[in-house]
Amino acid sequence: MTFNSPTEKHHYVNTMFGRIAHRYDTMNRIMTGGQDRRWRKLLIQQAQLPPQGKLLDIATGTGDIAFEALQQHPDLEQVVGADFTLPMLREARRRGGEEAKQGSRGAGGQELLTPLRHPVTLSPCQLSWSGADTLHLPFADNTFDAVASGFLMRNVTSVPSALAEQRRVCKPGGRVLILEIPRPADTPFGWLFRLYFHRVVPLIGGLISGQRDAYTYLPASAEVFLRPNELKTEMEKAGLREVRYTMLMFGTVALHLGVKGTEELKELRG
């Protein structure tokens, strides 16, 4: 799938995720065999959030990373889930119990959300949601102890700009974590994954969500995305230090981690 301009891609991605928001969690569980929960758990473990820390979850979707952070670190001062697709944010808010109970069902009583595995008790200001574009984050410099995203970077119109924004809002010494499906490797398993991703996923996605085109776009976006080592290079170009990545699910998913240098903290204090 190709786009004539960044604006066209931006609009398509926004509306596409809005159309599948009500089935997003269900499809993630099916496509990954439930492994996406384990990956997000690992992401939060690698974030090394401090007591009373602050986390930004970009492209939060239905809030999986944000809720996982609070389950692992109930003493966090603030978790912000940001997304530019408002139907996704509505699903996240419902999962967090911030909307009326009747809001959890759509027309005909259709269930719109996946219940949390464990209850999360929140203080009034601990968890918040923000309608925000990844390329223009509405947060001050050096705000968060960690900035995380799950399956975001394939969908942005500018990887360097997205990384620059993530680094900007991260505190010196803080971590930027990226969970993503990279371009499949040219290996026997990589070709098997391509077959599954391009043939099986659109079929299942069409049956469950009624939006087959959305689940045709998702594998197509991986084909034109960066290899894991290429994303590592882009993170280093953005000024992140100690960049490394872990391959998951037989090399089909990558978890990248980079650290914002502490020299900026010295400059701020100086």
Q: Reply yes or no on whether the pLDDT at 19 is more than 60.
A: yes
Q: What is the pTM of this model?
A: 0.87
Q: Reply yes or no on whether the pLDDT at 234 is more than 90.
A: yes
Query: Domain limits of the chain?
Result: 6-12+35-181+228-269
Alpha helices in the chain (DSSP H): 6-20, 24-32, 35-47, 64-72, 86-95, 159-169, 188-195, 201-209, 212-223, 228-237, 263-269
Q: How far apart are CA 185 and CA 227, in angstroms?
A: 8
pLDDT in tens, 192-230: 999 999 999 999 999 988 899 999 999 999 999 999 999
* 218 contacts: CB under 8 Å, gap ≥ 6: 197, 201, 205
Gyration radius (Cα) of the chain, Å: 18
pLDDT in tens, 241-256: 999 999 999 999 999 9
Q: Which CATH number fits domain 6-12+35-181+228-269: 3.40.50.300, 2.30.30.90, 3.40.50.2300, 3.40.50.150?
A: 3.40.50.150
Specify the 3-state DSSP secondary structure of 64.
Answer: helix
